[in-house]
A and B are shown apart, each in its own frame.
Chain A
């Protein structure tokens, strides 16, 4: 019954979404007052989808094997948390989660929006309904998560063991919230293009959504990067894998949007560009969803290839993105640009920021799809990997990081103050870092060397907006910006250190043998079999030491029976100055064990930086929201005083 209730809720939501879209058409063609009706329809639609998702959670939690999806992706022996997380560890469930977030975001837009005009809100809710409608149809006709099996099988086939990890409970939902949160920016942009009301009010309405989605994307990408780092056992934090790139592209677009939207909010300029970015950011989310869900690109994220579903998603993508682009082409010309600005000003700083981010986005986009296009045109197979991305995007990212230190010091419209003088100390720090790396590590390659220099410069210059003002009275948004920019410096330092100083040792060792990696000597004590709840394992005991004391690490190699899979569980020990990373591989016939050892100085800074960037975004959002509450309270008091 639970599955049927979920399916019914999904059908009802579909009906409501259709109704919501028709209401928009009515409202835009005539002057029907449908705003209140639309708001409540949007809220109901969101609530019903949430019910459908809750029903799917329930059938997974109770291991109801008569539901095909549960049978295919779960197993009664699985720990409870992974039964629940299994809900979105598969195609249908994750698409239902995608749609649920889309509908709930629409509901919140209906509940909270107050800055835009009524007409723009109606148009935006109509766009959101149309988006939802296509994806409901996708679920109902091509990926029904509630399909039954008859007769019910006794037990399920299990979840891919790589996904049986706390990271899974957290990483996909966070990324999806970010991906799909951008749909609101898309709908608001479409709405504003329809009504022609692209102004600073719209930018202020859009900004918290962009900030929120961007914070979650940042967190999702950071968490995903750490998950890949410790779970895959390859010792890397970013592989330029197509699916990773699919999450990076919306992030890059959202980062650009986040900055250009400030120009629109403060100065009423960059109208067409900001609308374009809002459309592109969510389009990139849809492209990402398509790439991941159709399985057409070869990736470590090995999802099943399904041409029928792929075609359905591609048609949806074409309709939505195509319609938005056509709307932009038709209405973009009517947008009047706002206040002018001079060459050296915060506006032009943000324009440069946007240009660089867009070029990096283009590089990632081309690199991800290049193999596909070359094969389509010439039949030749090739792959584009880290060497291309690092060589092309790396230097641009460094230039961008330098400008991140400069931009916030510029004032709107025209810069009159001597900005360069304020940058003297950070520049000196950056230059010293460069000289120190040249003296101490003459063999270091150029990118990490520049990375250290830029990180030192940015760490200092990101603090400058706080100098000379009372930190307690600075707006939260300013605090957010400073922390996020400082986070970039931290992450950059971590990446440079990882690239420059990582020591690696791959070897076959017999029990009793000692291997050295960086400052560590690691002795293999022995390998013993052990067992977990739903797997058997081999566990190595390693005794690591760098002079004082002994640290015990126990990397494991897991064998799961449902489905039969082997995974390597790395053992990682974190110190203030780095991580010792150990992996147990296969045994060789002579009784030795393959061991992979890494010493990675300051690698944790990468994710710490990512977390700081997200924290900065969250603070900025908090600042916007609390100011909005205060204004509302003030307005209410004012109304009371006037009309009482």
Chain B
């Protein structure tokens, strides 16, 4: 066997160790961003979650005005936690639509009565199909959608008061 051939294992080992060491220094970030950021929304048409509000279609979101799409559920505790932030955003004139995941009308009504209702439309996603199509892996998540229906930003987990200026800026930039 030639010397070059016999050095291959050492070179491969060096590569392996470098890769593993990199991962140790920079631990994996478990949040996986949606692949759809900066792309058009996938087509969907969700029925109304409540009789009093319209459902949500993907074409509703290319409305000529940037909006937020909040993915929530009445059974989700952090969703109740972020409700005041959504209420504040609504007060500042932000249009917010919602997708209710694996939920029922009664439960949603109770949830909104307790935590406030910032939503213009609520689509009901009983089997999480649209949620998965959007590349969202849990609740709550919030998407910033621009005037042409293109996803500009994704927030994984509940929004906090500290996020408000950033969200407003992104909405302004998405006109």
Contact = CB atoms under 8 A, between A and B. Distances in A.
Interface of A: 272, 276, 280, 287, 290, 294, 296, 298, 305, 307, 310-311, 314, 317-318, 321-322, 325-326, 328-329, 332-333, 369, 372-373, 375-376, 381, 589-590
A589 B27 contact: no
Most chain A C-beta atoms within 10 Å of own C-beta, residue among B3, B27, B32: B27
A332 B1 contact: yes
Contact of A318 (B17, B27, B33): B17
B23 A372 contact: yes
Contact of B9 (A310, A328, A590): A328
B107 A326 contact: no
B173 interface: no
Given A296-B23, A332-B1, A325 B107 contact: no
Contacts, number: 64
Task: Name B's interface SS.
Answer: helix
Nearest to A589: B104
B13 A298 contact: no
Contacts of B17: 314, 317-318
Given A298-B30, A314-B17, A329-B6, A376 B104 contact: no
Interface residues of B, number: 24
B132 interface: no
Interface of B: 1, 3, 6-7, 9-10, 13, 16-17, 19-25, 27-28, 30, 32-33, 104, 106-107
A322 B104 CA distance: 60
10 contacts: A296-B23, A307-B27, A311-B21, A317-B17, A328-B9, A369-B16, A372-B19, A372-B20, A589-B104, A590-B104
Given A280-B9, A298-B30, 6 more contacts: A296-B24, A296-B28, A298-B28, A311-B24, A322-B13, A328-B9
Contact of A290 (B9, B20, B104): B20
A287 B20 CA distance: 10
B1 A321 contact: no
A318 B9 contact: no
Nearest to B29: A381
A375 B25 CA distance: 13
A307 B1 contact: no
Contacts of A372: 19-20, 22-23
A509 B107 CA distance: 21
Contact of A589 (B3, B9, B23, B107): B107
B80 to A, nearest CB: 18
Contacts of B106: 589
B9 A276 contact: yes
A272 B1 contact: yes
